[in-house]
Copies of this chain bind each other. A is one copy, B any other.
C-alpha cells in the first residue's frame, strides 16, 4: 500500500526483475500464458501484485499495431437520437477489450475533417461515424489510412468502407404514405436543421407531390423548440391536420403546444415523430413515430469493426437495418 508513488512508474522490467525472469518471459506470462510454465506465471503474477504494475497499452500498441481503441464521431452527443447507438457501441467494444474515443463534429464538414485527422493520428483500430462522410478529402484520407470505417444512421451505394443504417428518403415516403392513407391532406413539417432530416422531408414531399409548410429549428431539438414550431406552423396554415416532426423531442413539444391551445390530438391535429425515444410510448396520447433500432446500429457497427480487427472477411459491408412506422394514439 505504500509503493514508490513519487518515482517513475512501474514497468514490465521491474516485474521481471522481481520475478527473477527475463523481460520477455514476463511479457508472455501476462499476454500469452500458453507459452509459459504455470510456475513462472504464478511468480510473475505475484510480482505484478507486489509491484502494483499496470501495463502500458500505448507502448504495446506501438509494436503490435493494435491500439484497442475505436473512434466514434457523432454530430453532437447531446442529440438524444444517437445515445443508444453510442451506448451499445461502447458496451460491445468494452466486452471485447476495446475502448471508445469520442469526438463531436457539430454537423460541420470542416470540423469533421479536422477531427478525422486527429482521430487517425491516434491509430484507432476502427472508426465509426454518424452519417455518411461527404467531404471527398476526408473519404480519401480514411481509405488511405487503412483503418476499418463504419458509416452509420444512413446508407450509401459506395460507402467509404462499411455502413449500417437505413434510407431516410424511404422514411419520409413511408410517413407521407401513412398520412395519406389516414385521409389527411393538409400537412406541416417541423424539422431540425440537419442533413438527414432534410432528406426525410424530401422523401415526404416527393410522395406527396407538393410543397408543405415547414418550420426549421436548430439542433439539438427540444420540447421548447417543438412548441415554438407548432406556433409558427399554425401561423403559416391554421388548417394543418397532421405534423411530421424530425424527432420525438420536437413531437413532444408539438403535442404540448397543441394541448395548451385546446387542440385535441389526433382529432384536431395528428402528430408523428421520429426515433421512438424512451418516452414516446408512454405519452398520453402515445406518440406515433418511426422506430429506429439505434442500439442495434451500435452493436452491428461494433461487430463489423471487430470482425475486421480479427482479420475476418466481412461478407455484407452494407447493412440496412430498416425502420418501422409505429402507430399509436397521436395519429
Residue in contact with A69 in the complex, picked from B101, B249, B279, CB distance below 8 Å: B101
A76 in the interface, Cβ–Cβ < 8 Å? Answer: yes
Partner of A145, one of B1, B54, B59, B259: B54
A1-B140, A77-B83 as given contacts; A117 in contact with B223, CB under 8 Å: no
| Contact call B101/A101, Cβ cutoff below 8 A | yes
> A279's contact among B84, B120, B249, by CB below 8 Å, is which?
B249
Which stretch from A86-94, A156-164, A204-212, A268-276 is at the chain B interface? A86-94
Whether A35 is near chain B, meaning CB under 8 Å from some CB there, is no
Q: Which residue of B lies closest to A100 (CB)?
A: B102
Which residues of the other chain, B, contact A283 by a CB distance below 8 angstroms? Answer: 223, 256
Known: A67-B58, A102-B102. A224 touches B123 (CB 8 A): no
Contact of A281 among B102, B224, B260 (CB under 8 A): B224
Residues of B within 8 A of A69 (CB): 101, 122
Q: Given A58-B62, A121-B54, A87–B99 Cβ distance below 8 Å?
A: no
Having A58-B67, A102-B102, A223-B279, one finds 15 other A-B pairs with CB under 8 Å, namely A9-B145, A9-B146, A57-B121, A58-B62, A58-B122, A58-B123, A77-B87, A78-B87, A87-B104, A90-B103, A222-B279, A224-B281, A252-B279, A256-B283, A256-B284
> How far does the alpha carbon of A61 sit from the alpha carbon of B69 in the complex, in Å?
15
Residues of B within 8 A of A267 (CB): none
Least Cβ distance of A124 to chain B in Å?
10
A223-251, CB < 8 A from B: 223-224, 227, 249
- Asked if A259 meets B284 with Cβ closer than 8 Å, knowing A58-B58, A121-B56, A122-B57, the reply is yes
